[in-house]
Amino acid sequence: MTKAPAERRHRARWDAFALIVLAAVAGCTSRGPTPERAVGDAASPAPTAQQQADDAPPAAAADPLRSWNAGDAKDAIVAFVARVTRENGPDFVPPAERIAVFDNDGTLWSEQPMYAQLAFALDRVHELAPQHPEWRVREPFKSVLAGDTKKALAGGEHAVVELIAATHAGVTTEEFDAIVRRWILTAHHPRSGRPYIEMVYQPMLELLAYLRANGFKTFIVSGGGVDFIRPWAGDVYGIPPEQIVGSRAKLKYEVRDGVPRIERLPAVDFVDDKAGKPVGIQEQIGQRPIAAFGNSDGDFEMLEWTTSGPGPRLGMIVHHTDATRESAYDRDSAIGTLARALDEAPKRGWVVVDMKRDWKVVFSFEAQ
């Protein structure tokens, strides 16, 4: 039977979202629940950008981009900000139009060895398992519970769709917010053993603060779920919920037993990746950014849309070149594939940040 066009579009949205998550298959290490991820194991939250600014010694505070080494990337940022903020200058941009957009995974925090949101989904399976005895014999849940992530995700898109539906839906938006808040404070990154919120890039925190100090509004435009990022982005990045754009589940407002609620449905409403990023930007931000920061081909269209407007524009790609301090990957990686955007960066004037060369520190905890 031939599917109706709208049905096919609906299915296509699921597939697109599943593909984003599936990219995480490669490089996944088998993992079960470990003591450090147990609920209640409260970790100290990472210092916020503001706290870090407050704590900085006076000498270091003189350079707002102190974790950036001198070089082309740092120069490009400083020169761009100087151009657009110089009043009466030929390239002056009024503050209302100083819109900067940032991808999240791989641009503001680590995405290797797997997206944090997938780690969250896998942890949720463990947490919800007691209420789902049938999962003990049903894939992909059976393999997740056995700690075999690779086998769990071997079911492809269908497996991912099942995992996301089972772990991201069937709760209200406020319940989901609380679940994410609890997880982000207690879960630990599988390689560093650090809380996820410490896996943010110190140079990018400084860049966010530097842009805001110069009248920019900073936005996240992520392929990840918007409701997975919003609960902690205020504390960690200094970015309020309405300035986070991401992929979305379908939502339904209803009054149940006299109590108004917004339910998360097991259906994908919007995939904010690739050509979806400019659409998400227009829908939610409503104007074309003048600066865009990404790290993968999923950010290509966002960079293209941002930098093809008139006047001064800044497009920047974080290139993961540092296997010692973080990870080294680009065109052959299933997560954060970077090929076309890297190839076209020179002719498009996009600045490539060489993480190893351009960043004095990657994570704030390195200095400890």
Nearer to its own copies, 78 or 285 (CB): 285
φ, ψ of residue 361 to 5 degrees: the values are -130, 150
> HSE-up of 19 (CA within 13 Å, CB side)?
12
- 6: helix, strand or coil: helix
Cβ proximity to its own copies, 56 vs 285, nearer residue: 285
Contact predicate 108/218, CB 8 Å:
no
Write the burial class of residue 155 (CB in 10 Å: 0-12 exposed, 13-18 middle, 19+ buried). middle
- Smallest gap, in angstroms, from Cβ of residue 201 to its own copies? 23
Binding site for its own copies (CB under 8 A): 3-7, 9-10, 96, 173-174, 217, 219, 226-227, 230, 234, 240-244, 248, 251-255, 259-260, 262, 269, 275-279, 282-288, 301, 304-305, 308
Helix or strand run (H / E) with residue 28: none
Question: Which residues, 6 or more positions from 90, have their beta carbon under 8 angstroms from its beta carbon?
Answer: none
CB of 74 to its own copies, least distance (A): 28
Give Dmax over CA atoms of the chain in angstroms: 70
Phi, psi of 249 (to 5 degrees): -85, 160
CB atoms within 10 A of CB 84: 24
Q: Rank residues 152 and 239 by Cβ distance to its own copies and give the closer one.
A: 239
What tokens does 186 get? 């207690």
Query: Is 39 or 262 the residue whose CB approaches its own copies more closely?
Result: 262
CB of 83 to its own copies, least distance (A): 22
Q: Token digits for 246? A: 């991401």
65: Cβ–Cβ under 8 A, 6 or more apart, which residues?
A: 74, 77, 78, 203, 206, 207, 210
CB of 257 to its own copies, least distance (A): 12
Nearest one of 309, 329, 308, 333 to 318, comparing CA atoms: 329
Supply the minimum distance, in Å, between the C-beta of residue 101 and its own copies: 11
The CB-of-199 to its own copies minimum distance in angstroms stands at 22
Residue nearer to its own copies on the CB measure, 56 or 279: 279
Q: How far apart are CA 310 and CA 45, in angstroms?
A: 41
Q: How far is the CB of 276 from its own copies (least distance, A)?
A: 8
Cis (ω within 30 of 0) for the bond into 47?
no
Nearer to its own copies, 46 or 226 (CB): 226
What minimum distance in Å lies between the beta carbon of 227 and its own copies? 8
Report the residue number, 3 or 132, with the smaller CB distance to its own copies.
3
What's the closest the beta carbon of residue 48 comes to its own copies, in angstroms? 12
Residue 132's SS3 state is coil
CB of 251 to its own copies, least distance (A): 5
**Coil/strand/helix, residue 220:** strand
What whole-number distance in Å separates Cα of residue 64 and Cα of residue 57?
12
Q: Where are the beta strands (DSSP E) in 257-313?
A: 259-270, 291-294
Residue type, position 130, single letter: P
